[in-house]
A and B are shown apart, each in its own frame.
Chain A
Amino acid sequence: MPGATLRIWRGDKDGGDFFEYRSDYEDGMVVLDVVHKVQAEQANDLAVRWNCKAGKCGSCSAEINGTPRLMCMTRMDTLPTDRPITVEPMQAFPVIRDLVTDVSWNYRVKRQIKPFAPRKPDAPDGTWRMQQADVERVQEFRKCIECFLCQDVCHVLRDHHKHEEFIGPRFFVYSAALEMHPLDTADRLADLKQAGSIGYCNITKCCTKVCPEHIHITDNAIIPLKERVVDEYYDPLKKLVRLFIPRRAER
């Protein structure tokens, strides 16, 4: 059986340190398996958040050798085991204990975004008709498992701590899913510009790189939203028209 050393950060909001645990692992094991093995055999009280173990729930987000990843989808045989593997909690959120962080900010942000508001049903059976081609781009965004790795890696949050002013890539994707939903009638552009500070994003695509669902966050969600905001607020011709006809949301 191969073996590896995990260097796991342990501690709480008052501080902590890395502790090394040597463990065997079986063929095909992922980092989460080895963390669990350590928990069962060496450190029963090691705190780690997880659920599905199949990359579908987005609970076991952490930083492995410095990269934000899902522990359940990172196979041991993809990591160099000749030196310790570092496992630490996400840096953009306050730590609760060991590998578990307080991600409740994300839930608060979501609640502030205008909810889905469909147009009146217009098909004879009291529902709607939508073509597959028209829902596909929204379906891409709706693959999001809310692991918050994109939030973790985003420098506006991670380095500049703009949590009070900036909603982060996850909620641009969420907003895009609503804005581009064929049935939705609400207008979120003013909020994206003001409360969301979409302008802070300088499209370095770090979020896209870490997305375990391979959502094209920057290209398909953020850039089109930025374009809509620019179109709405900074187009000189439109500005002129707006002098006479206010925008829908302000009427």
Chain B
Amino acid sequence: MPIDFKTHEHDVLIVGAGGAGLRAAIESSAAGARTAVLSKSLLGKAHTVMAEGGMAAAMGNVDDRDNWRVHFADTMRGGQYLNNWRMAELHAKEAPERARELEAWGAVFDRTRDGRILQRNFGGHRYPRLAHVGDRTGLEMIRTLQDHGIHQGIDFFMEYTIITLLKDGDRIAGALAYDREWGHFHAFIAKAVVLATGGIGRAFKITSNSWEYTGDGHALAYEAGADLLDMEFVQFHPTGMVWPPSVRGILVTEGVRGEGGRLVNNAGRRFMFDDIPELYRNQVARDADEGWRYVLGDKEANRPPELLTRDHVARCINREVKAGRGSPHGGVFLDIGWIKGNKTLEGRTIDAAYIQKKLPSMYHQFKQLAGVDITAEPMEVGPTTHYVMGGVKVDGDTQMSRVPGLFAAGECAAGLHGANRLGGNSLSDLLVFGKRAGEFAAKYARETKTPAPARDQIDSAINAALEPFGRSAATEGPYQVQYDLQDRMQALVGIVRVESEMAQALDEISRLKERARRCRVEGHRQYNAGWHAAVDLASLLTVSEAVTRAAIERRESRGAQFRDDYPDKSAEFGKFNIVLRKGVDGAMQVIREPLRELPPELKAVVEENK
């Protein structure tokens, strides 16, 4: 007998209520579209809240040499030129306006001495560019969007999870969801759907991501016929907590290094000076003194090597640990306390209170969770799975995928960051492309009729979702399958990759898919975490396969992908992106898609900033 469900109708359905989803919703409703936002958690709890360092926007408030051209060139260089250049261009041009708009909606950024929005240094950014609020910028951003958004006539559905996208022929027709509170099903009929579901961190064992980040948007889009792009590029943030074990992976903001924090091995050596990549040779300080002057704001000085891109810093840390030069708990030391006693440009002597003011939540986090006073003792840090550059392939201007009416923005979309994302470019990404997705989804909705998804799609998705309840007691629960997947992905498709291990990972993923099809859940549908974990497994397995297949195909080391069997960058592989598409036989196809050539005016921008 078909299970009952409730039907809702909107013009635009937005999946996810982090920065991108909320910004899309604000834009879509402002354009007159009846807009719904579904979020897996409560409003204001999405992972945007965890973003610490800031949002990159070339406002030039601290260094007036900054402008969109430098930001564009930095983003392309950081992404090793695999980026969708149109997105990188739009992002660099529009980010300042998106930051100022947040201020007009009530955000309270830290200020410069003349009362403008303060900007800080970050890895890979040539000038101080990150608008920030201490080290809780993400909270400021999500709260501002939330508090503005609740007055815009948007329908919010909190603690709802999508299990499948609905289609009407080739076009999108909405989505089927369940609510956590009751376990009831809901069919959302919508002319346009914007995916803003964030990342895939939960496919790995050590991650800064919470339980929600199971690649839902990636997998939903893939199943619906959209392309996934650049999935081999998973960002391992160089600095996650490593001790105590229960907090392993929790993020330690790059802002610590932006404020002068230095990375040291167990011999006390500042190892980041030992390996400077060619692409950045002209932009790195020659010695510790020059690096410190850069931190203080000396325009003549170059950045300390701790502020190189994340992919590089993560690999250097990995190397130190593997070589036996790590800290007691398998990381390295990150020391910010050393800056005490130095003087700021204003002549203020830096003390413990200064560090606490600059990095309040880091101070709090280490004090409370690790018993470490960061103003006096070094932190122990190591790489943690943080962000996926890959995602749904979208049009750079409109954010629409190849499925008509299906849009994606933020982390679950791909293109802006290429092979490696610069810190701070995510928050600005969410705003710039969240806005665009909302704008064009509303426009698309205006120009189309209400779709009518076939009923059998809904019934079969509901039945599939409920299957784990009916299985025999002899089979295992979903958690063990999830742990094993995370363990395998971490070990076989992690920071350092080789073909043989990744081939093994593919075998294991197919075995895990079998186990996932047999796993059983206890109890009933109401707020049942075991059931939710079982439903999420499908997405996790799809994205894990996509990451692995793309990583095998890219036989070179570039950006976030490091291949031990192909340790060098290859000019050949620099000519295309890797796309994953569901074939007619249901198997995952791997396609090499040539890069679009940079137009001459943007090429000139890259050249002038070399």
Name the distance in Å between A114's Cβ and chain B's nearest Cβ. 9
Check A168 for interface membership: any CB of B closer than 8 A: no
Contact, CB under 8 Å: B369 / A28: yes
Contact, CB under 8 Å: A118 / B106: yes
List A contacts of B105 (CB < 8 A): 116
Q: How far is the CA of A122 from the CA of B546 in the complex (A)?
A: 51
Contact, CB under 8 Å: A44 / B103: no
Contact, CB under 8 Å: A28 / B116: no
List A contacts of B114 (CB < 8 A): 129
Among A44, A46, A116, A144, max chain B CB count under 10 A is at A44
Tell me how many residues of B have a C-beta within 8 Å of chain A: 64
Contact, CB under 8 Å: A54 / B365: yes
List B contacts of A204 (CB < 8 A): none
List A contacts of B251 (CB < 8 A): 54
Provide the B331-350 mask, 1 if CB < 8 A to any CB of A, else 0. 00000000000000000000
List B contacts of A102 (CB < 8 A): 181
List B contacts of A59 (CB < 8 A): 41-42, 45
List A contacts of B522 (CB < 8 A): 44-45
Contact among B150, B212, B245, B478 with A28 in the assembled complex (CB-CB below 8 Å): B245
Provide the B128-153 mask, 1 if CB < 8 A to any CB of A, else 0. 00000110100110010001101100
Q: How far is the CA of A45 from the CA of B521 in the complex (A)?
A: 8
Provide the A88-132 mask, 1 if CB < 8 A to any CB of B, else 0. 000000001110101110010011000110100100001111111
List A contacts of B477 (CB < 8 A): 40, 44
Name the distance in Å between A79's Cβ and chain B's nearest Cβ. 14
* Residues 88-118 of B at the A interface (beta carbon under 8 Å): 100, 103-106, 108, 110-111, 114-116, 118
Q: Identify the stretch in A135-143, A188-196, A241-249 within 8 Å (CB) of chain B at 4 or more residues.
A: A135-143
Q: Identify the stretch in B488-496, B503-511, B528-536 within 8 Å (CB) of chain A at 4 or more residues.
A: B528-536
Name the distance in Å between A12's Cβ and chain B's nearest Cβ. 7
Name the distance in Å between B502's Cβ and chain A's nearest Cβ. 28
Check A4 for interface membership: any CB of B closer than 8 A: no
List B contacts of A56 (CB < 8 A): 49-50, 136, 139, 361
Contact, CB under 8 Å: B247 / A116: no
A96-B181, A98-B527, A111-B150 known; A53-B247 Cβ under 8 A: yes
Contact, CB under 8 Å: A146 / B108: no
A40-B479, A44-B477 known; A52-B50 Cβ under 8 A: yes
Check B82 for interface membership: any CB of A closer than 8 A: no
Q: How far is the CA of A39 from the CA of B478 in the complex (A)?
A: 11
Contact among B151, B211, B212, B245 with A115 in the assembled complex (CB-CB below 8 Å): B151
Name the distance in Å between A130's Cβ and chain B's nearest Cβ. 5
Contact, CB under 8 Å: B116 / A129: yes
Contact, CB under 8 Å: B250 / A53: yes
List A contacts of B147 (CB < 8 A): 110, 115-116
* Residues 348-372 of B at the A interface (beta carbon under 8 Å): 360-361, 364-365, 368-370
A52-B47, A116-B105, A129-B116 known; A26-B246 Cβ under 8 A: yes
A44-B479, A111-B151, A135-B108 known; A129-B115 Cβ under 8 A: yes
Q: How far is the CA of A72 from the CA of B143 in the complex (A)?
A: 21
Name the distance in Å between B457's Cβ and chain A's nearest Cβ. 28
Give the secondary structure class of A's interface: loop
Q: How far is the CA of A110 from the CA of B158 in the complex (A)?
A: 15
Q: How far is the CA of A96 from the CA of B251 in the complex (A)?
A: 31
Name the distance in Å between A180's Cβ and chain B's nearest Cβ. 10
Q: Which residue of B is nearest A178, CB measured?
A: B106
Contact, CB under 8 Å: A146 / B529: no
List A contacts of B108 (CB < 8 A): 130, 135, 138-139, 142, 181
A45-B523, A57-B45, A75-B369 known; A51-B136 Cβ under 8 A: no
Contact, CB under 8 Å: A54 / B244: no
Q: Which residue of A is nearest B534, CB measured?
A: A44
Contact among A45, A118, A138 with B529 in the assembled complex (CB-CB below 8 Å): A45
Contact, CB under 8 Å: B106 / A181: yes
Contact, CB under 8 Å: B106 / A48: no
Name the distance in Å between A27's Cβ and chain B's nearest Cβ. 6
Check A29 for interface membership: any CB of B closer than 8 A: yes
Contact among B111, B210, B526, B530 with A53 in the assembled complex (CB-CB below 8 Å): B210
Check B243 for interface membership: any CB of A closer than 8 A: yes
Provide the A30-60 mask, 1 if CB < 8 A to any CB of B, else 0. 1001000001100011111111111111110
Q: How far is the CA of A162 from the CA of B479 in the complex (A)?
A: 41
Among B42, B44, B478, B530, max chain A CB count under 10 A is at B42
Among B106, B134, B147, B210, max chain A CB count under 10 A is at B106
Check B43 for interface membership: any CB of A closer than 8 A: yes
Name the distance in Å between B105's Cβ and chain A's nearest Cβ. 7
List A contacts of B246 (CB < 8 A): 26, 28-30, 33
Q: Which residue of A is nearest B49, CB measured?
A: A57
Check A145 for interface membership: any CB of B closer than 8 A: yes
Contact, CB under 8 Å: B531 / A45: yes
Contact, CB under 8 Å: B47 / A146: no
A139-B108, A181-B106 known; A58-B45 Cβ under 8 A: yes
* Residues 178-192 of B at the A interface (beta carbon under 8 Å): 181
List A contacts of B212 (CB < 8 A): 51
Contact, CB under 8 Å: B369 / A51: no
Contact, CB under 8 Å: A132 / B110: yes
List A contacts of B361 (CB < 8 A): 55-56
A59-B42, A111-B150, A116-B147 known; A54-B529 Cβ under 8 A: no
Contact, CB under 8 Å: B529 / A46: yes
Check A73 for interface membership: any CB of B closer than 8 A: yes
Q: How far is the CA of A27 from the CA of B43 in the complex (A)?
A: 33
Among B44, B105, B244, B246, max chain A CB count under 10 A is at B246
Q: Which residue of A is nearest B118, CB measured?
A: A132
11 A-B pairs (CB sep. < 8 Å): A26-B245, A28-B243, A28-B247, A44-B477, A46-B529, A53-B247, A55-B364, A55-B368, A57-B210, A127-B104, A143-B139
Pairs A-B, 8 closest by C-beta atoms: A28-B244, A45-B523, A129-B115, A44-B530, A116-B106, A47-B527, A97-B527, A132-B111
Binding site for A on B (CB under 8 A): 41-47, 49-50, 100, 103-106, 108, 110-111, 114-116, 118, 133-134, 136, 139-140, 143, 147-148, 150-151, 156, 158, 181, 210-212, 243-247, 250-251, 360-361, 364-365, 368-370, 477-479, 521-524, 526-531
User: Could you list 6 further interchain pairs (A-B, Cβ under 8 angstroms) beyond the known A51-B45, A54-B50, A142-B108?
Assistant: A29-B246, A44-B477, A47-B527, A56-B139, A129-B114, A138-B108
